[in-house]
Amino acid sequence: MKENYSHQEVEASTQKIWEENKSYLSTENNYSKFNIKQKTKFFACSMLPYPSGKLHMGHVRNYTINDVMTRYKRMLGFNVLMPMGWDAFGMPAENAAIKSNISPAKWTYDNISYMKKQMKQLGLSIDWSKEICACDPKYYKWNQWFFLKMLEKGIIYRKTQVVNWDPIDKTVLANEQVIDGKGWRSGALVEKREIPGYYLKITEYAEELLYDIKHNLKGWPQKVLSMQENWIGKSQGLCFAFLHNIQNENNELINDGKLFVFTTRADMIMGVTFCVISYEHPLATFFSKINKEIKLFVQECKLGSTTEANLLTKEKKGINTGFTVIHPINQEKIELWISNYVLMNYGNGAVMGVPGHDERDFHFAKKYNIPIKQIINVNNKSYNIDYWQDWYADQNYSFLINSGEFNGMNSSEAIKAVTDKIKSFSLGDEKTIWRLRDWSISRQRYWGTPIPIIHCSVCGEVPVPENNLPVILPENLIPKGTGNPLNDCDEFLHCYCPKCDRVARRETDTMDTFVDSSWYFMRYTSPDCNNAMIDKDKVSYWMPVDHYIGGIEHAILHLLYARFWTKLMRDLNLINFDEPFKNLLCQGMVLNHAYYRKNHNGSIEYFDPKNVENIYDKNGEIISTKLKSDGSDVKYLGITTMSKSKNNGVDPQSIINEWGADTARIFIIFASPPEQTLEWSDQGIEGAHKFLNKLWKFCYNHKSFIDIKNINKKNIFYNLSDELKFLRYEVYKILKQVNYDYERQQYNTVVSSSMKLLKFMENCNSISHDKYSTVITESISILLRILFPIVPHITYQIWHDLHLNTVFGDLLDAPWPHIDEDALLLDQIEMIVQINGKLRHKILVSTNYDSDKIKNIIINDKNVLKFLNGKDIKKIILIPNKLINIVI
Ligand code: ANZ
Ligand code: ZN
């Protein structure tokens, strides 16, 4: 063993050994060495990265957590799999191509090879034989195959979709490319266009997706489950009609004279003072034909983005149509309004306005002077029309007033009574509606899976025959930002109709990249399978994923689509389980300080924290911050997510180079529990490195004590000194805690426990005792094993150098240490040592000792002596089995 720890040497040589031994190659037939029983599989998987260029700290954190989990499980005897792949299709590659004039393919493959190298340097236990890449035809062929199957089954259908159209660049924009209603590149006012696209019927699975959230995802964070539940948004209510006699140009009643609305609060029907329709409602379309003002209003509403989120935050505007509809219970005339707060594609695109008790309606009515009517009451609360109070919408303690025959009813009684009445008039019925929409999978982009469709002038849209798959995406095109370059690529466009053999045109839309990420984790189990989407045996061996790890930003769409896709594959008999991920861990964000300065022209410039110096006051509070280069002032923004835009990212590569992968890993693991945010700290990195140095040094200094002959002998640990007994007691107490923490993924406290353990070992003075070697060998072997999942290189090297593999085998598969219950059965007890009433120390003493002996031990203890500092002891008070107070 070398005297000094060199992370470069250690990491390079251990990584080489693992590479040569193919240490992370997984198989489905992994029998334990020691018995014939097959090992239990454990599949832990990180959300696959987008190959953006180089790893960022968020990646490093994600994969380190994954790696720690996998290595730990492997030592417990599980047959583990940790794969990796690339979410290699998507827009950033196109944007990079526009900027630097290289093809998205080249850009992507270069990034992949760099990031893969970085992952290897991190010492991740990835089985690279399972690697998949979304832009590889070997992979996306099966997106296409599955598309055809879904089309056959009627799960995929074609309809028009509204898209953002940039009239200058003549291209469709993604929502994130629309900034303040303008195209990101051209600055042109974005228009809405209707074009055809393919949809997947996820709504047909809404009920099951919801059911499984409630019953079959016990290993998921509650927060993610609620987000998914809200997204699916099951809503039960009453759909009913207000009658009217509004007629179109041809004197025909519009919609048969019925304005249908959907409400979840039928109990409030007597509070209706107006109705509101969406500006896209057929009635609104008619009104804008006959009324100029309405026409202008509708046009104004149409501008801007198409997303629901944007609509919800927009200022609520309305216009009175001048028409009325009839209230179904009291026959009163009700004003009809148009507003941008009603969504056309939810419910009926029309609502009943109850301004007395719905907050949105309340503000709308106040803005436009529409009457407000109180119809529900809560005892002892007084209603004031001037401002909104939350109890106005109360459903638990309220009862109806001013509601005729429904007066005095509580909410649920009234909902039932109103519903029955409406039904008896044949004006409506109970209805369940969903927020979830079918999944639009067509993208008017180049860098994605080509949709396997051929357009024939005679036969229409014809699916590409299965045996002609894959439809290969040309890799040499360079998008210019003015539309999909496939549209100009004759080689790609030109084809023959599979039905009639006429010259035809290939579809140029590609698939949403969420398709790629909806099933890649299954493909990991058989990435080379070329006659099927997945190898049935292998997928049924490995799936479901035992632990899925990734960012909370994917809590909704990616995870919902992956769950849906799994159910589709099940219904095609490809797999036989319902849910893809048993457990889910969403790791927290990585944060760093951020500094900025407002420049003369008003722009904000952010500075890399590396280049900024903090000036502290006596209490350690920052008083000013300056640029190191020229001492000029910059402002401190606070701690925030590491990001390019704030210039506060820390490049993992520089940390690996300077401090080593193990330091980076242990810092990240130690800094906070996986689910919580992690604050970057340079001192933290230094501290982590110091600890690894200490570990190395301790092991180096004890190499001559290593006693591999006796370590496995039965009954070796008797006749120990008290101190050695205490040490073993501490070792096993810590091991017990560590086991518990590993199981609940509380890895940060595994690190603090390891630090504590090393301290105990360092403080043990029984070097001359004849059992010291055995006890210290045992302690070292346990410490190295509990640290191995976190810092695999240094521990692997030491393990090897101390020849511990000759007793326990290779550290990768070394058996996890068993708890020696005897070591925990201490005939000793922990006593608190106070000096002048202040807690100064804790000490373990034998329960057999009398008080004189205990006093004697305590006043001679190194730590206590430090506090006594040579002063005379006036009195010693001893409370047996508890406490000793020394008065000086
Ligand atoms: C009157 C009312 C009073 C309502 C009240 C709610 C609360 P959830 O639960 O999310 O499904 N609504 C119906 N269709 C709408 C549309 N297309 N655009 C905007 N809002 C619409 O919401 C259902 C409620 O949202 C419905 O019940 C309706 O307003 C409104 F105190 O009717 B409610
Ligand atoms: Zn044809």
- Residue pLDDT, tens place only, 242-261: 999 999 999 999 999 999 99
For the CA atoms of 339, 340, 343, 344, the dihedral, rounded to the nearest 10 degrees, stands at: 70
Do both 738 and 833 map to the same domain?
A: no
Please tell me the distance between residue 536's alpha carbon and the centre of ligand 1 in angstroms: 46
Would residue 386 count as lying in a domain?
A: yes
857 — pLDDT class (breaks 50, 70, 90): confident
Give ∠ CA 515-518-522 in degrees, rounded to 5: 130
Percent pLDDT > 90 in the chain is 80
Query: What integer pLDDT is reported at residue 830 of this predicted model?
Result: 81
What is the rounded CA–CA span in Å between residue 697 and residue 652? 26
Q: What is the mean pLDDT of residues 745-770?
A: 95
Q: For atom 5 of ligand 1, which residue has the closest CA?
A: 358
649: helix, strand or coil: coil
Please identify, by atom number, the ligand 1 atom nearest to the C-alpha of residue 346.
17
Could you report the per-residue pLDDT of 336-369, keeping only the tens digit for each? 999 999 999 899 999 999 999 999 999 999 999 9
Do both 414 and 448 map to the same domain?
A: no
- Ligand showing the shortest atom-to-Cα distance for residue 454: 2
Please identify, by atom number, the ligand 1 atom nearest to the C-alpha of residue 348.
17
- Ligand showing the shortest atom-to-Cα distance for residue 503: 2
Query: What integer pLDDT is reported at residue 308 of this predicted model?
Result: 53
Would residue 290 count as lying in a domain?
A: yes
474 — pLDDT class (breaks 50, 70, 90): very high
User: Is residue 824's pLDDT more than 60?
Assistant: yes
Domain end point (choices 820, 839, 860): 820
- CATH code of the domain containing 807: 1.10.730.10
Q: What is the mean pLDDT of residues 873-887?
A: 90
Do both 301 and 318 map to the same domain?
A: yes
552: helix, strand or coil: helix
Query: What integer pLDDT is reported at residue 712 of this predicted model?
Result: 83
Which range marks the domain in which residue 254 is found? 234-434
Please tell me the distance between residue 347's alpha carbon and the centre of ligand 1 in angstroms: 9
Q: For atom 14 of ligand 1, which residue has the closest CA?
A: 347
Please tell me the distance between residue 262's alpha carbon and the centre of ligand 1 in angstroms: 7
Could you report the per-residue pLDDT of 287-308, keeping only the tens digit for each? 999 999 999 999 888 875 555 5
What is the rounded CA–CA span in Å between residue 812 and residue 123? 12
Please identify, by atom number, the ligand 1 atom nearest to the C-alpha of residue 358.
31
The environment of the single-atom ion ligand 2, i.e. residues with CB closer than 5 A, is 456, 458-459, 497, 499-500
- CATH code of the domain containing 301: 3.90.740.10
Q: For atom 19 of ligand 1, which residue has the closest CA?
A: 342
Please tell me the distance between residue 274's alpha carbon and the centre of ligand 1 in angstroms: 14
Please tell me the distance between residue 351's alpha carbon and the centre of ligand 1 in angstroms: 7
Percent pLDDT > 70 in the chain is 98
Residue positions counted in the chain = 888
Q: What is the mean pLDDT of residues 394-402?
A: 96
Query: What integer pLDDT is reported at residue 861 of this predicted model?
Result: 85
What is the rounded CA–CA span in Å between residue 470 and residue 488? 20
319 — pLDDT class (breaks 50, 70, 90): very high
- CATH code of the domain containing 623: 2.20.28.290
What is the rounded CA–CA span in Å between residue 342 and residue 339? 6
Q: Which protein residues are within 6 Å of ligand 1, measured from CB?
A: 235, 262-265, 268, 342-343, 346-347, 349, 351-352, 354, 357-358, 393
Q: For atom 32 of ligand 1, which residue has the closest CA?
A: 263
User: Is residue 553's pLDDT more than 60?
Assistant: yes
Could you report the per-residue pLDDT of 163-177, keeping only the tens digit for each? 888 888 878 887 777
Please identify, by atom number, the ligand 1 atom nearest to the C-alpha of residue 262.
13
126 vs 717: which has the higher pLDDT: 126
Would residue 781 count as lying in a domain?
A: yes
Q: For atom 18 of ligand 1, which residue has the closest CA?
A: 342
Report the binding-site residues. Answer: 644
Q: For atom 20 of ligand 1, which residue has the closest CA?
A: 342
Q: What is the mean pLDDT of residues 185-207?
A: 92
Q: What is the mean pLDDT of residues 213-237?
A: 97
Please name every residue paired with 443 in a beta bridge, in sequence order, or none if there are none. Answer: 510
| Residues 408-436 as b or e (16 or more Cβ within 10 Å = b) | ebebeebbebbbebbeeeebbeebebbeb
* Peptide bond preceding 470 in cis form (omega within 30 of 0): yes
Domain end point (choices 371, 404, 434): 434
Give ∠ CA 574-507-493 in degrees, rounded to 5: 125
* Tokens (6 digits) for 505: 């045109």
Query: What integer pLDDT is reported at residue 711 of this predicted model?
Result: 87
What is the rounded CA–CA span in Å between residue 840 and residue 372? 69
User: Is residue 658's pLDDT more than 80?
Assistant: yes
Q: What is the mean pLDDT of residues 398-407?
A: 97
The total number of structural domains in the chain stands at 5
Please tell me the distance between residue 270's alpha carbon and the centre of ligand 1 in angstroms: 16
What sign for the dihedral angle of Cα 839, 843, 844, 845? negative
Using CA atoms, how far residue 471 sits from 379, 428, 888, in Å, is 69, 49, 87
Q: What is the mean pLDDT of residues 509-513?
A: 96
What is the rounded CA–CA span in Å between residue 239 and residue 352? 11
Helices 747-763 and 722-743: crossing angle in degrees, nearest 10, is: 170
707 vs 308: which has the higher pLDDT: 707
Query: What integer pLDDT is reported at residue 305 of this predicted model?
Result: 52
Please tell me the distance between residue 749's alpha carbon and the centre of ligand 1 in angstroms: 48
- Ligand showing the shortest atom-to-Cα distance for residue 345: 1
On the CB side of 99, how many CA atoms lie within 13 Å of its CA? 8
* Peptide bond preceding 652 in cis form (omega within 30 of 0): no
Do both 708 and 816 map to the same domain?
A: yes
Backbone angles phi, psi at 245, to 5 degrees: -125, 45
Would residue 451 count as lying in a domain?
A: yes
Domain end point (choices 388, 419, 434): 434
Q: Using the 8-state DSSP alphabet, how is residue 348 labeled? A: T
Query: What integer pLDDT is reported at residue 312 of this predicted model?
Result: 57
Would residue 791 count as lying in a domain?
A: yes
Do both 318 and 424 map to the same domain?
A: yes
At a CB cut-off of 8 Å and minimum separation 6, what does 223 contact?
Answer: 552, 555, 586
The answer to whether residues 634 and 625 touch, using CB atoms and an 8 Å cutoff, is: yes
Please tell me the distance between residue 131's alpha carbon and the centre of ligand 1 in angstroms: 47
Q: What is the mean pLDDT of residues 218-238?
A: 97
Do both 471 and 499 map to the same domain?
A: yes
- CATH code of the domain containing 867: 3.10.20.590
Please identify, by atom number, the ligand 1 atom nearest to the C-alpha of residue 235.
11
For the CA atoms of 228, 229, 233, 236, the dihedral, rounded to the nearest 10 degrees, stands at: 170
Query: What integer pLDDT is reported at residue 621 of this predicted model?
Result: 84
Q: For atom 10 of ligand 1, which residue has the closest CA?
A: 235
Which one, of 851, 844, 847, lies nearest residue 830 by Cα? 844
Would residue 46 count as lying in a domain?
A: no
User: Is residue 531's pLDDT more than 80?
Assistant: yes
* Tokens (6 digits) for 853: 């002996």
* Tokens (6 digits) for 475: 């890799």
Would residue 689 count as lying in a domain?
A: no
Do both 323 and 465 map to the same domain?
A: no
266: helix, strand or coil: helix
Please tell me the distance between residue 205's alpha carbon and the centre of ligand 1 in angstroms: 23
To the nearest whole number, what is the mean pLDDT of the chain? 93
Would residue 296 count as lying in a domain?
A: yes
Do both 347 and 295 map to the same domain?
A: yes
User: Is residue 235's pLDDT more than 80?
Assistant: yes
- Ligand showing the shortest atom-to-Cα distance for residue 271: 1
Query: What integer pLDDT is reported at residue 367 of this predicted model?
Result: 96
- pTM listed for this prediction: 0.88
Do both 269 and 338 map to the same domain?
A: yes
Do both 755 and 849 map to the same domain?
A: no
Query: What integer pLDDT is reported at residue 163 of this predicted model?
Result: 85
Do both 629 and 501 map to the same domain?
A: no
Do both 410 and 279 map to the same domain?
A: yes
Report the binding-site residues for ATP. Answer: 644
721 — pLDDT class (breaks 50, 70, 90): confident
Max mean pLDDT among 18-32, 376-390, 631-645 falls in 376-390
Please tell me the distance between residue 263's alpha carbon and the centre of ligand 1 in angstroms: 5
* Tokens (6 digits) for 412: 């649920």
User: Is residue 844's pLDDT more than 90?
Assistant: no
Q: For strand 883-887 and strand 678-679, is the pairing parallel, antiparallel, or unpaired?
A: unpaired
Ligand 1, from 239, 240, 262: best to mutate by most atoms within 8 Å of Cβ?
262
Please identify, by atom number, the ligand 1 atom nearest to the C-alpha of residue 357.
31
Q: For atom 2 of ligand 1, which residue has the closest CA?
A: 265
What is the rounded CA–CA span in Å between residue 144 and residue 453? 9
Lowest mean pLDDT among 231-245, 575-589, 860-874: 860-874
Numbers of helices and strands, H then E, in the chain: 28, 37
Which one, of 534, 531, 535, lies nearest residue 518 by Cα? 534
Ligand 1, from 346, 372, 376, 435: best to mutate by most atoms within 8 Å of Cβ?
346
User: Is residue 33's pLDDT more than 80?
Assistant: no
Which residue, chain included where needed, has tokens 């070792």?
Answer: 731
* Tokens (6 digits) for 391: 């109890």
Full 3-state SS string of 458-525: CCEEEECCHHHCCCCCCCCCCCCCCCCHHHHCHHHHEEECCCCCCEEEECCCEECHHHHCCCHHHHCC
